[in-house]
Amino acid sequence: MHILFVLGSLRLESSSRRLANAIRVSLPEDTESEVVDGRELPLFDADLESQPKPRSVQIMIDQVDRADALIFVTPEFNYGIPGPLKNLVDWASRPPFNSPLKAKPSLVISQSISPAGGSRAHAQLTAVLSATLTPTYLVPSFTIPAVHEKFDGDGQLTDALTQMRIDATLPGFLHWVAQEANRSTSG
């Protein structure tokens, strides 16, 4: 199984990247993963959609295409999802209703330094993904509050509760991804 982590934050030392790293090392050994963010992408512009697409866009679309599942890890910016993440989703959402995002099993995780853990961004991203026909794993919202307290100076996850939530969520998510893959090959 191949998982693509989609980050909402561009900065290299971001909590989103740290969380993604903590989840990556918690994945079963036979699961591959890679990480993408919106750093290299131009702003979405329908004039740029005609073939060939900008190289950075095509690379990202190919990453989404070959992933069995997506795990979004995003902060909340001004009560919403960060612009670069929305831009990435907009590029990946084409052609509408038949894009690489269609039927791609996904998990949405938000984080913030605030007690709400980016819950508004979580809800917004889930709504955005419904527009792209991207199914999201049904668990109680995976939001990480006070995220700055969860890592040590080297960026390693030190919070036992967050690790427990990761460990409690991953098996069910991966099982669902496998079920979805079987469903699409048998039907």
Sign (positive/negative) of CA torsion 7, 68, 2, 51?
Answer: negative
- Does 15 help bind ligand FMN (rule: CB under 6 A)? yes
| Among 29-37, 70-78, 130-138, 164-172, the segment contacting ligand FMN (CB under 6 A) | 70-78
Query: E strand or H helix at 142, and its extent?
Result: strand 142-144
Phi and psi, residue 108, nearest 5°: -110, 125
> Which amino acid is it at 28?
P
Question: In whole angstroms, how close is the CB of 86 to ligand FMN at the nearest point?
Answer: 14
* Pair type for strands 142-144 and 69-75: unpaired
d(CA 51, CA 132): 21
Question: In whole angstroms, how close is the CB of 36 to ligand FMN at the nearest point?
Answer: 14
| Among 27-35, 76-84, 151-159, 163-171, the segment contacting ligand FMN (CB under 6 A) | 76-84
- Does 133 help bind ligand FMN (rule: CB under 6 A)? no
Using CB under 6 A as the binding criterion, the count of chain residues that bind ligand FMN stands at: 17
Q: Which is nearer to ligand FMN, 92 or 147 (CB)?
A: 147
> Which amino acid is it at 133?
L
Query: E strand or H helix at 81, and its extent?
Result: none
Would you tell me which residues interact with ligand FMN (CB under 6 A)? Answer: 9, 11, 14-16, 75-79, 111-114, 116, 118, 147
